[in-house]
Amino acid sequence: MSNVKNFFHEVIKSKIPTRYLRALLSRLVFTRFIYWIINYQYIKLFNKCTFTPKNKTLSILSELQNKGILISDLEEFGLGHLLPLLQNRFKNLSTRGTGSNTRSTEFNNVIDLNGDLSNELLSEILCNKDINFIVHNYFQQIARLGYKEEVISYPSYSKRSNARLWHRDAADIKILKLFIYLSDVSLESGPFEYICNTHYLGTHSNLNSIKSVGISKLNKGELRLEGLVESRSELNSQIVTAVGKAGTIIFCDTSGIHRGGHCLNSPRELISFAYYSNSAYLSLPAFVVSDKSFFKSKMMKAVLGL
């Protein structure tokens, strides 16, 4: 199976000159059939899972499926006690620049569990049963954690660029990101924004999608999407602006149209976990875990690609 996957990834990587063509091709080759073949073993694994979630978890999943976004908080998942610890961890992370006003404090696929309590914090989120129920049911297969990112966005009065402009994420048909705010986020601190129903299962799923996948340059595709959102009432009336306190957790299918991080006063601190199917086109390495025995279940091993 991995040969089929590698073959398509090689084609996508090497033969196609621009990210637009690459995105177009990925949408053509990842037809349902190829998607199903590559992900078959993860669909089977998903079908074997038996976990009865809380009623609230079921309603969160159904709203996510309907709208493409659902806003909740760590308390809802019994993880409220992690907030001060996560905030503390965030303060102590080493920093690394990724853009003029956004600094990514950590962007790697390493979870070190050898006595590093702070990483066990992340594992507590990763292994949370109700969160996993939502993630894998959304995909209808065991999804893979593509990356974890911890980001601080600094105030800026300059023009919006990159992820601060309306865009869709590429790489897969469905994507599910969990964004956890570690600081209070108001309208002035760059809240995450989403246009409901633009996700894979939504009514506006195909709208301008191929032209809008590249987010690294201010290009025509992106500007077209900006104009589109501004001019179409069925889009701009569907915008959800996720203002919220520290501890807010957002589940969102970012194959739908979204933006965020354009803060004007206080910085915004955020952790994100990005989930994809196993057929996703991702250039990031799989997770490296120092203590594999920590993740005992077959499901968690699949999630981390161990």
| Residues of the shown chain interacting with ligand AKG in the complex, contacts defined by CB under 6 A | 163, 169, 177, 192, 254, 258, 260-261, 272
Identify the H or E element spanning 215.
none
Q: What does each C-alpha distance from 297 to 45, 115, 148, 274 come to in angstroms?
A: 11, 20, 20, 20
Closer residue to ligand AKG, CB minimum distance, 161 or 254: 254
Closer residue to ligand AKG, CB minimum distance, 172 or 299: 172
Binding window for Fe ion (CB under 5 A); candidates: 30-38, 90-98, 251-259, 269-277 = 251-259
Q: What does each C-alpha distance from 275 to 144, 173, 201, 237, 238 come to in angstroms?
A: 5, 12, 16, 28, 24
Q: Are 145 and 303 in contact (CB under 8 A)?
A: yes
- Distance of closest approach, residue 77 Cβ to Fe ion, in angstroms: 23
- Distance of closest approach, residue 74 Cβ to ligand AKG, in angstroms: 18
Tell which positions 33-72 bind Fe ion, by CB under 5 A: none
- Distance of closest approach, residue 258 Cβ to Fe ion, in angstroms: 6
Closest CA to 141 of 109, 178, 173: 173
Check residue 150 for interaction with Fe ion (CB under 5 A).
Answer: no
| Residue from the set 149, 150, 169, 269 that interacts with Fe ion by CB under 5 A | 169
Closer residue to ligand AKG, CB minimum distance, 7 or 107: 107
Give the contacts of 15 (CB within 8 A, at least 6 positions apart): none
Instruction: Give the count of beta carbons closer than 10 Å to the beta carbon of residue 239.
Output: 15
- Token pair belonging to 89: 């961890």
Closer residue to Fe ion, CB minimum distance, 253 or 269: 253
Closest CA to 86 of 110, 105, 101: 105
Residue 192 binding target from Fe ion, ligand AKG, none, CB below 5 to 8 Å by type = ligand AKG
Residues near Fe ion (CB under 5 A) are 169, 254
